[in-house]
């Protein structure tokens, strides 16, 4: 088996259909080589090997309109092997994909120009090192961390099935798109890929096709070093349809494999494609080097000679290749898209409510009155756990927002995130309309799948214990990087989990969330702050949120005594002040489980004649986004005596308390004991906080 067609089949003139295939494939390969060589950085091997595979998919099967790359019913192509980014950029360029701005208006400029390819991996190029959603139109998901792309594609496939079950009507098949993902050995080794594949097989997602580039090479060398499993047997065990193409260059066999996938009605499909990375016979650099670094000028010339390509030509695109893409896949995609739009106009008149819902969903807008069901919680010293209040508010919102769907990684009874209103149902192999997803014990895949749902314009939530956000770190980061409004709900927010001990007590996790650019932290301190959190969260269109909630009951504050919870929208607000209206001597800052503790300490300090203020700071990200004048109003620079309270790491809190302030926080992983014993041991009592507050006043009084 060789990785290219024989020299005799290299395209020439006149150009006929088979030669156009080879000419197009060679164009993709040489563009990839030239881009990597110009950057002196990147991975040319996989794009060269997989060019026939990607070309066959795009030219013969992919339902995609380059002039409207956000068309709702397009097929999705995810390059999970993100290091092979030049393969995707070459396709986007040749297909003349149009760039789209965040307002969902076609801009009209090429998504990837030849200059972008020439500037591969350079500043401001639309061809960065790995594909980036929202940066390059036509990129369906940000990929690079191996395994996450294929996991994200499972979310897209679920979205397609749910949208079809929810919106399709007799005579109106608005949603029937397929999802393709190109992956490699690294994707197969990463655990998240296995998690996602297992769930996809269980759900029988027959609109999902993974294309596995089995080239047996990784960065360190042959996969024999660490990977010897039978992938085909594993996927058959997952319940997948598995087929194999023995030569990545066999366009007709590839075409047949994609046709078989489209005929499959009960299982996802894995197409195993055997390839040789690089362009042919082993070179002096070796195939591993061809995978992980530029070929070098001499090897590029040799490869072009092998393809029958002008050896000194760089970034060459024959006119007939542009015409071939325009007259073929682009024309087909545009025709299908126009037919769909005509169908949708009729649908909109026949089903106006569904049509409006689809419009709102696609534009990430909310229906009128979406928050009408959010209740106001009465003052209650016993109160509710954050997770309990969240369950009530989540259900009230989801009942008004039909495309708000999600679930937990096997923890819904504990996180209280099950949708319980009439008609919510469970998404399953036999019911695609259910709005409760069951991810199983697959935390990393759950977050990545939620990203895939959001990329399909569904508004998703996924939930688990805060401690298990460790398993989701990569997917959380990608939520923020892609600017997706995913709601990540985390409960059991502190050492308040008590007897479960330090393995289940999150300490450093809030710091991780707050350190992630673009990920909004939200840790409400009572039931009404939970309600107001949703009013702040739901209108967001480009920001993911980590909503962090308590396991234990928190007092519902009396808002006739304290400031209204609407201040949550600004990230932080003054909850309580000295009764005499005088400026405070000390400020207590808290959120979540510790807000009521700060209030208790405030009451003691007030009784002792100390002028104290309580600031609720549920979201550092939102508070930091406020104008400086507002922040100074809440935290006056003149008041240097400040105490922050959090049953987690103190990391980051000194920004808010200043060099003269104090932080009552954790410096260990916790311990296994009842909650009250833990609070006493680690200093989370009103008495301990009052002591620290008074010490802070004394300390600042003696300093200039």
With bands split at pLDDT 50, 70 and 90, how would you rate the model's confidence at 278? low
For residue 554, CA distances in Å to 86, 126, 564, 594 come to: 53, 49, 17, 9
Residue 228 pLDDT class (50, 70, 90 cuts): confident
| Sequence-ordered alpha helix ranges (H) in 276-432 | 286-292, 297-307, 319-325, 331-350, 352-362, 386-400, 412-415
Is the pLDDT score of 100 beyond 80? yes
* Closest listed residue to residue 195, CA positions, set 144, 151, 239: 151
Question: Rounded distance, CA 572 to CA 625, Å?
Answer: 11
Which CATH number is associated with domain 7-338?
3.40.50.970
Q: Which CA distances in Å does 477 have to 518, 520, 598, 630? A: 9, 11, 32, 29
Q: Taking Cα atoms as reference points, which of 649, 679, 644, 680 lies closest to residue 664?
A: 644
Cβ atoms of residues 620 and 566 within 8 Å: no
* pLDDT the model gives residue 105: 75
- Provide the edge-to-edge strand list for the sheet that holds 436-438: 436-438, 404-408, 459-465, 487-491, 545-548, 520-522
Q: 653 by DSSP, 3-state: which?
A: coil
Distance CA 635, CA 630 (A): 9
Q: Tokens in use for 322?
A: 């542009």
442 close to 198: Cβ distance less than 8 angstroms: yes
Q: Mean pLDDT over residues 628-646, rounded?
A: 97
CB-based burial of residue 183 (10 Å sphere; 0-12 exposed, 13-18 middle, 19+ buried)? buried
What DSSP state is assigned to residue 582? P
Residue 281's pLDDT band (boundaries 50, 70, 90)? very low
Which pLDDT band, with edges at 50, 70 and 90, does 226 fall under?
confident
How far, in Å, CA of 690 to CA of 645, rounded? 11
| 568-701: CATH topology | Rossmann fold (3.40.50)
Given pLDDT bands bounded at 50, 70 and 90, which one contains residue 360? very high
Least confident window among 332-341, 493-502, 506-515, 544-553 = 493-502
Short-list 411, 516, 520, CA closest to 474? 516
Q: How far apart (Å, rounded) are the C-alpha atoms in residues 15 and 652?
A: 64
The answer to whether the pTM exceeds 0.85 is yes
Rounded mean pLDDT, 585-609: 97
The strand ranges marked E within 610-672 are 612-616, 642-649, 662-666
Give the Cα separation of 597 and 682 in Å (integer): 13
Phi-psi category of 7—alpha, beta or left, where left has phi over 0 and alpha has psi -120 to 50? alpha
Res. 279: pLDDT tops 60: no
Between 444 and 108, name the one with better pLDDT: 444
In the predicted model, what is the mean pLDDT of residues 606-635?
97
Q: 489 near 530, Cβ under 8 Å? A: no
Per-residue confidence (pLDDT) for residue 499, from 0 to 100 = 86
> Which residue in the list 140, 299, 443, 594 is annotated as catalytic?
443
**According to the model, what pLDDT value does residue 8 have?**
30
- What does the pLDDT read at residue 227? 79
676 or 139: which leads in pLDDT: 139
Q: Looking at residue 2, what is its pLDDT? A: 25
DSSP 405: E
Q: What is the pLDDT of residue 580?
A: 86
pLDDT at position 77 is 98
Q: Residue 7's CB: how many other CB atoms inside 10 A?
A: 10
How long, in residues, is the chain?
Answer: 704
Task: Specify whether the backbone of 670 is left (phi greater than 0), alpha (psi in -120 to 50) or beta.
Answer: left
CA distances from 2 to 7, 136, 243, 246, 499 (A): 12, 33, 20, 10, 61
**Domain range 380-554, CATH class:** alpha beta
Per the listing, tokens 């001597």 go with 585
| % of residues, the chain, pLDDT over 70 | 95
pLDDT of 217 > 80? The answer is no
The SS3 of residue 399 is: helix
CA distances from 567 to 86, 238, 273, 380, 530 (A): 47, 49, 56, 20, 12
Asked whether the predicted pLDDT for residue 489 surpasses 60, the reply is yes
Please classify residue 552 by burial: count the beta carbons closer than 10 Å to its beta carbon, then call 0-12 exposed, 13-18 middle and 19+ buried. Answer: middle
Calpha distance 642→656 (Å, rounded):
8
448 confidence band (pLDDT: 50, 70, 90): very high
Rg, Å, the chain Cα set: 28
Q: Choose from 5-19, 640-654, 668-682 the range with maximum mean pLDDT.
A: 640-654
Indicate whether 1 pLDDT > 60.
no
Does the pLDDT value for residue 594 go beyond 50?
A: yes
Q: What gap in Å lies between CA 46 and CA 62, rounded to an integer?
A: 20
Please give the pLDDT value at position 277.
65
Pick from 184, 210, 148, 187: which is nearest to 444 by CA?
A: 148
C-alpha span between 34 and 40 (Å, rounded): 10
Average pLDDT, the chain: 92
The two beta strands, 221-222 and 217-218, are antiparallel
∠ Cα 516 522 526 (to 5°): 160
Predicted confidence (pLDDT) at residue 287 exceeds the cutoff of 80: no
Residues with Cβ < 8 Å from 65, sequence gap 6 or more? 71, 74, 330, 333, 334, 336, 337
> Has residue 592 got a pLDDT over 60?
yes
C-alpha 404, offset from chain centre:
16
Active site residue 508: no
The answer on pLDDT for 623 being more than 70 is: yes
Residue 535 clears pLDDT 80, i.e. is over it: yes
Closest CA to 266 of 234, 237, 238, 241: 241
Does the pLDDT value for residue 243 go beyond 50? yes
Residues of the chain with CATH 3.40.50.970: 7-338, 380-554
CATH 3.40.50.920 in the chain, residue ranges: 568-701
Residue 520 contacts residue 543 (beta carbons within 8 Å)? yes
CA distance 97 to 118: 17
The per-residue pLDDT for 18 is 64
């Amino acid at each position: 088996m060789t990785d290219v067609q024989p020299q005799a089949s290299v395209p020439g003139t006149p150009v006929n259909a088979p030669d156009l295939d080879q000419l197009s494939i060679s164009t993709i390969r040489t563009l990839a080589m030239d881009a990597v060589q110009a950057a002196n950085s990147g991975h040319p091997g996989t794009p060269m090997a997989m060019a026939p595979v990607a070309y066959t998919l795009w030219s013969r099967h992919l339902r995609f309109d380059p002039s409207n790359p956000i068309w709702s019913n397009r097929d999705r192509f995810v390059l999970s092997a993100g290091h092979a980014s030049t393969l995707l950029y070459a396709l986007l360029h040749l297909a003349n994909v149009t760039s789209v701005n965040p307002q969902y208006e076609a801009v009209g400029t090429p998504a990837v120009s030849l200059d972008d390819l020439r500037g591969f991996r350079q500043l401001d190029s639309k061809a960065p090192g790995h594909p980036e959603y929202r940066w390059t139109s036509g990129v369906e998901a940000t990929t690079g961390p191996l395994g996450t792309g294929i996991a994200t594609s499972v979310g897209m496939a679920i979205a397609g099935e749910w949208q079809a079950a929810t919106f399709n009507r007799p005579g109106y098949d608005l949603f029937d798109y397929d999802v393709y993902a190109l992956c490699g050995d690294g994707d197969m080794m990463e655990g998240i890929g296995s998690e996602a594949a297992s769930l996809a097989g269980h759900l029988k997602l027959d609109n999902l096709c993974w294309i596995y580039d089995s080239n047996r090479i990784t960065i360190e060398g042959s996969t024999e070093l660490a990977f010897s499993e039978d992938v085909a047997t594993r996927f058959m065990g997952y319940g997948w349809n598995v087929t194999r193409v023995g030569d990545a260059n066999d366009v007709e066999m590839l075409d047949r494999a994609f046709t078989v996938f489209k005929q499959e009605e009960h299982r996802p499909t894995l197409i195993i494609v055997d390839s040789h990375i690089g362009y042919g016979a082993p070179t002096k650099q070796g195939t591993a080097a061809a995978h992980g670094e530029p070929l070098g000028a001499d090897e590029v010339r040799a490869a072009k000679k092998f393809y029958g390509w002008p050896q000194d030509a760089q970034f060459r695109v024959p006119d007939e290749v542009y015409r071939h893409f325009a007259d073929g896949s682009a024309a087909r995609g545009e025709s299908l898209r126009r037919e769909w739009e005509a169908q949708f106009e009729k649908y909109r008149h026949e089903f106006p409510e569904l049509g409006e819902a689809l419009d709102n969903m696609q534009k990430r807008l909310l229906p009128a009155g979406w928050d009408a069901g959010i209740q106001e919680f009465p003052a209650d010293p016993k109160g509710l756990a954050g997770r309990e209040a969240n369950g009530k508010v989540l259900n009230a919102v989801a009942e008004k927002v039909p495309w708000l769907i999600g679930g937990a990684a096997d923890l819904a009874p504990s996180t209280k995130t099950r949708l319980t209103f009439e008609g919510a149902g469970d998404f399953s192999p036999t019911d695609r309309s259910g709005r409760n997803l069951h991810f199983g014990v697959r935390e990393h895949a759950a977050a990545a799948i939620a990203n895939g749902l959001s990329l399909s314009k569904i508004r998703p939530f996924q939930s688990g214990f805060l401690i298990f956000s460790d398993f989701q770190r990569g997917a959380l980061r990608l939520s923020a990087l892609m600017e997706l409004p995913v709601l990540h709900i985390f409960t059991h927010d502190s050492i308040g989990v008590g007897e479960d001990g330090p393995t289940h007590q999150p300490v450093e996790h809030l710091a991780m969330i707050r350190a992630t650019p673009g990920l909004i932290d939200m840790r409400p301190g009572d039931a009404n702050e939970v309600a107001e959190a949703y009013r702040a969260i739901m209108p967001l269109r480009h920001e993911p949120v980590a909503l962090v909630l308590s396991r234990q009951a928190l007092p519902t504050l009396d808002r006739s005594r304290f400031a209204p919870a609407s201040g949550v929208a600004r990230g932080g607000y003054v909850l309580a002040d000295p009764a005499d209206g005088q400026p405070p001597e000390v400020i207590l800052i808290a959120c979540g489980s510790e807000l009521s503790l700060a209030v208790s300490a405030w009451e003691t300090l007030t009784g002792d004649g100390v002028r104290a203020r309580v600031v609720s700071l549920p979201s550092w990200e939102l508070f930091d986004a406020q104008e400086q004048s507002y922040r100074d109003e809440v935290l006056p620079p003149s008041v240097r005596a400040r105490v922050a309270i959090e049953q987690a790491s103190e990391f980051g809190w000194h920004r808010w308390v200043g060099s003269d302030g104090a932080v009552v926080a954790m410096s260990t992983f916790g311990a296994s004991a009842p909650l009250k014993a833990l609070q006493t041991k680690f200093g989370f009592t009103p008495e301990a906080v009052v002591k620290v507050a008074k010490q802070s006043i004394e300390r600042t009084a003696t300093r200039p």
